[in-house]
A and B are shown apart, each in its own frame.
Chain A
Amino acid sequence: MAASSDRNPPPFPATEDPGAGRADMADGDSDEGEDIFVSNSNNPVAVSRGVSQPDHVNEMPPDLFSEEEANNTTARSNGVHSDDDNDLFAEAHVELSTDKPGSARKELSTSSGTHPASSITQSPAAMQPTSLEQLEDEEAKDSFDVDVAVTNPEKVGDGMNAYVTYKVSTRTSLPMFKSKAFSARRRYSDFLGLYEKLSVKQSLHGCIIPPPPEKSVVGMTKVKVGMDDPSSVEFVERRRAALERYLQRIVSHPLLLQDPDVREFLEREDLPRAVSTQTLSGAGFLKMINKASDAVNKMTIKMNESDTWFEDKFQEVESEEQQLRKLHALVDSLVNHRKELCGNTAIFAKSMAMLGNSEDNTALSRALSQLAEVEDKMEQLHQEQAASDFFIFEELLADYIRLLGAMRGCFDQRMRAWQRWQEAQSTLQKKRESEAKLLWANKPDKLQQAKEEITEWEARVTQYERDFDRIGVTVRKEVLRFEKEKAKDFKSQIIKYLEAMQQSQQRLIKFWEAFLPEAKAIA
């Protein structure tokens, strides 16, 4: 089971020195060890660690794990300072327990913090990989964990052919992996390739496959040119965090985790270059979903929905997507204003410094210079608040808008399965009619062929009906799982945000308290 916070992953077997993999561009932004998110979020979300005690969520089952469930008190950086290897899993953390349908969502975090931690849980013997049947059981007995982190972006190559690779580190106690901890370098198109592979698998139809972050020609071009300016730094960091959340969602999905392609992505040293990723540019992903929806709408045989559950859910999904889009736009505007405040505060600080310098009266001059410094500190604070708004809410909303799109895709898949079944039935019907005709026309050789075809199509009809039912069940489960994860995700992000805000207010109070005596000392 997943170790909670405060643990220090052991150095990876083939690991470079901590910090050696640090991208140069990470220095482009601010500073000196002070984390951008100074949040001490306690992660109250601790789904029960298995052993059939779904009610006692925060209890530590004594037998399975040696590690205590400490609260997550790491200050987390949002990864602009690409991290030491040691800190990788302090935050990135996935708990999977199957006492509830679906698996526990990852503890939300962008990448690592800088906390020392205890040792990793190692209790392989006690754990077994969950089988799919157990997953379907509400009171499953097992739990397992995989931690995944995406760090150390590095630019490879020069000019327009340059690209960025990221280090994907996995730590796990599952026996299906070759080792306990390993890493590989992947580039963005690899992530896209994984998504493409998963999307077309029949066995995963009906599952909500988390979408990766979109392509961005503008963003990448800037990075290709140079990784030093703040907007490139922000772009890379944003993408890194999004890729990490993408992987974390994948490994927290019980079915996806079992997939060999996922395992290959995590484990394999060199991945063959994914080629057909053109479709996923910019808004391409959503376009793809919408196109599929349109195709379904144009179906000639309209589905007679016997179960209104699906219809109702679909409506809900659509309206929720609209709402989230609206929220996303509003947060975006808020983030922009905060950034503007940063800039204005900095300029104001400079003008105060100049005023302080021109002032004759020494006490006043000193006070004004102090004021300038206070304003400088506030600018830093505003910067952090903007980042907080952004990374906590804006990206969260963006993720969920994409996930809802994926969910719509699942509903469509179900429709198409139904359609296939119906078409097979109508083909079967036609075959039977032609058999009857042949019987009447008395052509024994053709009759044999007709009988064979009928058998074949009967089998198909049965198969497609089963597929349809199975997808229906999968979609239902996925929707429930999604709603659970969403509630948890939002709650934990909100708490993180509130903690960050509280922290920054405390710091603000300190600034003012320090300045007050200076102001009073003037006259």
Chain B
Amino acid sequence: MMEEVKEVTPCLSVHGHNIKVTEVLKDRDTLTFLIVSQKLSGTGEYHVDRTYDDFEWLQQQLFFQEDMPGIEGVIFPPLPAKPQVNASAKVIKQLGFLGLGEWQPYCKALEAFLRQVTAHSILSKNKAVEIFLTSSDPPGRQRARKNIFNRLSQAVEEMRKEGHKDVDEFFQTERDHNLVLTGCTKTAAERFLDVVLTEQKIAVASGYFSAALHLCVEPGENPDTQAFSKACVKLSEVFDSMKKNMARVAENNVSTLGLGLDLESRYQEAEKEMLFRRTCKLVELETAKRNAEKAKPVKKAAIALFHSVRVEMLQQALVQWCEKQLCTAKESADQFGQHLQAFRGMAW
């Protein structure tokens, strides 16, 4: 990829690595995201608000960038599925981790998307990216092209069903491997989501128990009754801590490994798309071997890059996850120790 593309001065005027999606505003049915990026020259920031449609526009601008060489080999950073306010249970399930909470995981996913786009050597040069990040007016919202893209995927799907093998063993292996990995990752993400949802249920149940205990205070002068009441209040505090701890554990899960698995899964879908496109081209241009040949070295390197990026991303997610959970566990252990001490020291 590097050999073929001429060195072009980057046309992006902002830093890509620290783009932030800071807020999401809900206005009836629309979600508007606030994006903040740092200017390359000097100090200063761009604050723009964009809706999901704007993101889709950007993605399409990138997909249909025909003039750039090597574009076919690009694995496009995946955009999350469209968010819906007051979504049905089915839609929420499809969103997975991104549908949790007050859209913070979703914002993080959009952030990751933008950072990946701006970090991509080819994609970042697309003018649409600059417009998207800096223009105060929202870019145009066109939907027309989406259908073409879908039809393309459909056609490729059909061909896959016929078991059209790739001429190159490397790509065929990659395709098979990708299929397996995609399945595994998706399953893992779904199972992890189940874990997180149960953790949230436990947090809620602990909260109820804590509240009920607080109501157990009995009146009376009897020292034993008072002792019992005190015990209940203390226990109520314990379960309140447990609720907070569990909620934090769940949140850690979502913000690190959850997002990581989600992104990984979408990335693999993106790779699948790319490989489909290649297959598609192979079928269509079977005679034009030269094109396919020319495409090969580009894509192999792209795939190698893709994997290294993917692995690094997963590693980051795992490390962060572990660190956060470790921190939470330590805090929780301390708290239990404190509760225990307080309990033992209580005058009865």
Contacts and interface: CB of A to CB of B under 8 A. Distances in A.
Contacts of A523: 311-312, 315
A483 B224 contact: yes
A494 B188 contact: no
A63 to B, nearest CB: 27
A333 B188 contact: no
B30 interface: no
B216 interface: yes
B227 A513 contact: no
A491 B343 contact: yes
Interface stretch (B129-137, B141-149, B274-282, B328-336): B328-336
B184 A348 contact: no
A276 to B, nearest CB: 36
Nearest to B179: A358
B308 to A, nearest CB: 8
B318 A367 contact: yes
A299 interface: no
The B contact surface, by secondary structure, is helix
Of B180, B242, B322, most A-chain CB atoms within 10 Å: B322
A384 B325 CA distance: 19
A176 interface: no
A483 B225 contact: yes
Contacts of B201: 337, 340
A347 interface: yes
B209 A330 contact: yes
Interface stretch (B104-112, B156-164, B190-198): B190-198
Given A358-B181, A364-B311, A486 B224 contact: yes
A512 B198 contact: no
A520 B319 contact: yes
B289 interface: no
A44 B340 CA distance: 12
Interface in B293-345: 307, 311-312, 314-315, 318-319, 321-323, 325-326, 329-330, 332-333, 336-337, 339-340, 343-344
Interface in B200-253: 201-202, 205-206, 208-209, 212-213, 215-216, 218, 220, 222, 224-225, 227-228, 231-232, 234-235, 238, 242
Contact of A495 (B213, B311, B340): B340
A439 interface: no
A494 B224 CA distance: 16
Given A348-B195, A354-B187, A498-B238, A490 B202 contact: no
A388 to B, nearest CB: 12
A241 B225 CA distance: 27
A contact patch SS: helix
B194 A320 contact: no
B314 A364 contact: yes
B234 A494 contact: yes
B32 interface: no
Contacts of A520: 315, 319
B333 A483 contact: no
A501 interface: yes
Contact of A509 (B184, B187, B235, B330): B330
A92 B231 CA distance: 23
B228 A486 contact: yes
A519 interface: yes
B170 interface: no
B237 to A, nearest CB: 11
A505 B184 contact: no
A383 B206 CA distance: 17
Contacts of A487: 224-225, 227-228, 231, 348
Interface residues of B, number: 60
Contacts of B348: 487, 491
Given A358-B180, A486-B228, A516-B319, A498 B339 contact: yes
A269 interface: no
B22 to A, nearest CB: 28
A231 B111 CA distance: 48
Given A348-B191, A483-B225, A498-B336, A338 B202 contact: yes
A490 B231 contact: yes
A54 to B, nearest CB: 13
Given A351-B187, A351-B188, A516-B319, A494 B235 contact: yes
Contacts of B215: 323
Contact of B315 (A341, A512, A522): A522
A355 B188 contact: yes
A359 interface: yes
A371 interface: yes
A518 B267 CA distance: 23
27 contacts: A44-B344, A320-B218, A327-B213, A330-B208, A330-B209, A333-B205, A334-B209, A340-B201, A341-B198, A341-B199, A344-B191, A347-B194, A348-B188, A351-B187, A358-B177, A358-B180, A364-B311, A483-B225, A484-B224, A487-B225, A487-B228, A491-B227, A491-B231, A501-B242, A508-B325, A519-B321, A523-B311
8 A-B pairs closest in CB distance: A505-B333, A512-B326, A522-B315, A348-B191, A502-B336, A487-B227, A483-B224, A519-B318
Given A327-B213, A502-B333, A516-B322, 16 more contacts: A44-B344, A334-B206, A334-B209, A345-B195, A347-B191, A358-B181, A358-B184, A371-B318, A483-B222, A483-B228, A506-B333, A509-B330, A512-B326, A519-B315, A522-B315, A523-B312
